[in-house]
Amino acid sequence: METALTHTNHSLPRLGQPAPAFEAETTHGTLRLEDFHGSWLVLFSHPADFTPVCTTEFVAFAELAPELKKRGVELCGLSIDSTFSHIAWVRNIEQNFGVKIPFPVIADLNKEVAALYGMIMPGESKTETSRCLFVIDPNGILRAMIYYPLSTGRNTQEVLRLIDALQSTDKHGIATPANWKPGDKVIVPPPKTTEDAELRMKAGFETKDWYFSRKAV
């Protein structure tokens, strides 16, 4: 029989496909993925409550929350800990660091959500989720994934940059170059026919060659 853990070994979600549906107990009550429909969602896992790197990440995500809110993005954390542990930890963070955790945290004790999203990396730990992060769009489509090891805390500014890039892509139909940040020029998707390639050279974009055009948005 395939267990949740062995399933984890074989199943990873796929970009561009619907994010796996779930219903889970959280610090904000029972939540389903569909409850977030219409908003962007950053679903992220951490290895364990009351651990130092995870604590710095929770503080950083809480500090990022207002900027995400401006962009219509909700946050939801997850680990293989109980709701009671999560509640105690977020209260402890508020007491020790003066930061209130505004987002729900999934208590995934049976590893169901972790298995659906491939959050457990047995080579690192069979009992903890790695630092995984999934960006799910308002239609429930998985748009981006980031996987970090247990030892490395994530860069929340990169998460914000990723959201800005995805939202710019949706709004303007463009792509974003390496190290892009809001305000920088964007990439105009390359033409797919020789006819369009010819036209592209005269289209008025900042064009290096037919396949490499940039513009301001």
Partner 1 sequence: MACVNPGGELTESARHILAAMREPVPLSQVAERTGLPLYRIRSAMRELSEAGFAAESAAGWETTSSGRSALERVLTRV
In degrees, rounded to 5, the angle at the alpha carbon of residue 59 between the alpha carbons of residues 14 and 95 is 140
Instruction: Report phi then psi at 88, rounded to 5.
Output: -65, -40
Question: Distance between CA 115 and CA 122 in Å, rounded?
Answer: 12
* Residue closer to partner 1, measured from CB, 66 or 123: 66
C-alpha span between 166 and 162 (Å, rounded)? 6
- How far does CA 195 lie from the centroid of its chain? 38
Query: Which of 8, 19, 20, 36 lies at the binding interface for partner 1 (CB under 8 A)?
Result: 36
Q: Which stretch binds partner 1 (CB under 8 A): 23-31, 120-128, 168-176, 208-216?
A: 23-31
Instruction: Say whether residue 151 binds partner 1 (CB under 8 A).
Output: no
CB of 152 to partner 1, least distance (A): 29
Q: Which is nearer to partner 1, 38 or 122 (CB)?
A: 38
The partner residues of 188 in beta bridges, in order of sequence, read 213
Residues classed as catalytic:
54
Task: Map the footprint of partner 1 across residues 54-83, applying CB under 8 A.
Answer: 74
Q: Which is nearer to partner 1, 76 or 114 (CB)?
A: 76
User: Cα-Cα-Cα-Cα dihedral of 84, 86, 87, 88, to 10°?
Assistant: 90
Among 3, 14, 17, 34, binds partner 1 (CB under 8 A): 34
Task: Using CB under 8 A, list all residues that contact partner 1.
Answer: 28-32, 34-36, 38-39, 74
